[in-house]
Structures are given as C-alpha cells and as structure tokens.
Amino acid sequence: MRIPGWARTRRALLTELVADLAAGTHSVLEHGFLTRVVRPHALLEPSARQAPRVGPKGAEYRDVEYVELDTVVELDSRWHDTEHAADRDSDRDLDDLASGRVTVRLRYRQVFGTGCRTAARLGAVLRQRGWTGRPVPCSPRCEVSR
C-alpha cells in the first residue's frame, strides 16, 4: 500500500517527537528549541535535559544543560509569568552564577519567532564558554551568516 505524502510527514514528526521525549524533552518549547535553534544551526547538542539538581529548596530541574561548558538554558513558558515564579527563577540564576554556571533564559519568541538570531547568540555564549564549533546558517537568509 502506498502511504500518502501527508502521512509520511506526520510519521516523521511523530518519530522525531517520540525520540526527543525519550531523550528527556518535556514540552513543545523544549522540542522547538532543538528543532528550530540547535539542530538546524549545528549547535552543540545539550548534554542533559531536565537534569535534576538539589537546590536550597529541594529538587530542581534544569531544562537544558551543557554540563561541560557550565551553561544552563531555561525555556520559560507562561508558567514563569507570576512574580513568585520570576523570583524563584532569579534565585536559581544567581545560585548558578555564584557556582560558575551561566543561565540563558529563552521564551517562545526566541525559539519560534527569532530562532536564527537566538542560535547566533547562543553560539556566541557557548564559544565563550569553551565550545570550539561554530553555528551554521540554516538558509541563505539566516541571521547566523551575518
């Protein structure tokens, strides 16, 4: 039986989503970070996702970590819009800085609206932290090439 093109596309998407879920992706924003920022621009793949860590108030989870570069990427959805959540995030960022890690906070716009610009900036951060690679443009109009 011949599979229609739309079904092949959906199958590929579902296969990709399941693989990312198995590797620790927990949200649409996290999946978008991988498929719109990291992979199309050949950035370093994260070494850990949803990495547990014990903080001052118990268990904490970092969305994405580049452990070898002491760099954390937090992908903030609307869950982080309250004053309490913002205060908690600021405390975690300060704890990270005090221990030598940097935290990059991204929201939907940086992933889904300006992914190429985000890739260029994140590539610069990772290079400052020791990554020897370089981001590559995903298209002729990609901001990584500028």
Q: What is the pLDDT of residues 71-88, one digit of tens each?
A: 999 998 765 566 677 777
pTM, two decimal places: 0.77
30 in Cβ contact with 75 (< 8 Å): yes
According to DSSP, residue 135 is labeled -
- Of 138, 135, 128, which Cα lies nearest the Cα of 71? 128
Q: What is the pLDDT of residues 15-39, one digit of tens each?
A: 666 666 655 666 778 888 998 999 9
Q: Tell me the HSE value of 67 on the side-chain side, using a 13 A CA sphere.
A: 7
